Amino acid sequence: MDYEPPPPGLPDSLHHKYGFSMYSARYGNIYTVRQLLQLVQEVAGNWKPVDYVWEKDGKFYDALRPSVEAYGFNLKREVIEQREHHISNVNKLFKELDVLIFTLGLTEMWVHKESGTVYPTAPGTIVGKYDSKHYEFKNAEYDEILSDFYNFVEILGKIRNNRSFKIILTVSPVPLTATASGNHVLVSSTYSKSVLRAVAGELSLNHEDIDYFPSYELVTNPRLHSSAFEGNLRSVRNEIVEIVMKHFFIEHPSISNKNKNENLILDKDNSSVACDDILLEDFIK
């Protein structure tokens, strides 16, 4: 399902650069459950983001998905119009989906103090400007992540007029390379993965309509030692992604039979551009 496909004529090589052909809509990366909750709240009309039009070098960006427009917009109004269009598409998607696949990525997040709006990246990294008067760092805990997910499911159910749907959860195996917690990055990464895996376990064990797929365990299992990652010890090697997806389709044969499109498994030429942390390097350049 792709409710925001690329415009006709856009070269395949530019799809990912503009956030196309990566997700079922042009979300950008949704790293935290709080981001996911706020998205469904926005779709339902229960919440609106605050301070989400950020500027860099005279161009304007949607701070909730800063990487979907590589060169930004000339006017703030264009950002607002594009977000409204995006939310309308997500609304259609939410109403039509049968299975939602969500990767639990991070516990760390940057928050607008006054409104509670959560961003996928820190102000002043990809776009925007950091100001301690307006933004703060937050590291979510188990109970609040679990509560956010239950709230998400409840609101999504109302959007769908209580029509049933299923959820597949995964945990990202990609370790943190930086943290704002004050702890060593290894400690912060272990905390994040442990909490997210515990949340996924709680949800999948106690709800028949929620399943957990162990991509995290497949990548980080001791048998692979350090061979699962590229030389930067962060990016998962293409061969390992293929192994993970092979197991996924074995476990979910109905999905495999419906879709034989290899591009949904792995785009080998663009596998490294899906993460905002990596995109930071492009924006810095």
What number of other Cβ atoms are within 10 A of residue 284's Cβ? 8
The rounded distance, in Å, linking the Cα atoms of 199 and 218 is 18
Percent of the chain residues past pLDDT 90, beyond the cut: 81
Q: Residue 79: how many CA atoms within 13 Å on its side-chain side? A: 24
Residue carrying structure tokens 């997040």: 109
The more confident residue out of 263 and 116 is 116
pLDDT score at 276: 62
Map residue 257 onto helix, strand or coil: helix
Q: Where are the domains of the chain?
A: 12-284
Distance CA 70, CA 74 (A): 12
Largest CA distance in the chain: 52
Whole-angstrom distance, CA of residue 161 vs CA of residue 110: 33
Question: For 117-161, what is each residue's pLDDT tens digit?
Answer: 999 999 999 999 999 999 999 999 999 999 999 999 999 999 999
Give yes or no for a contact between 67 and 279, defined as CB atoms under 8 angstroms apart: yes
pLDDT at 272: 47
Whether the pLDDT of residue 271 is over 50: the answer is: no
pLDDT in the model for residue 224: 84
User: Which residue is listed with tokens 């961003």?
Assistant: 119
**Contact indicator for 35, 26 with CB cutoff of 8 Å:** no
pLDDT, one tens digit per residue, over 68-110 is 988 999 999 999 999 999 999 999 999 999 999 999 999 999 9
pLDDT in tens, 209-264: 999 999 999 999 988 877 898 988 889 999 999 999 999 999 888 776 555 544 44
* Direct distance between the N- and C-terminal alpha carbons of the chain, in angstroms, rounded to an integer: 33
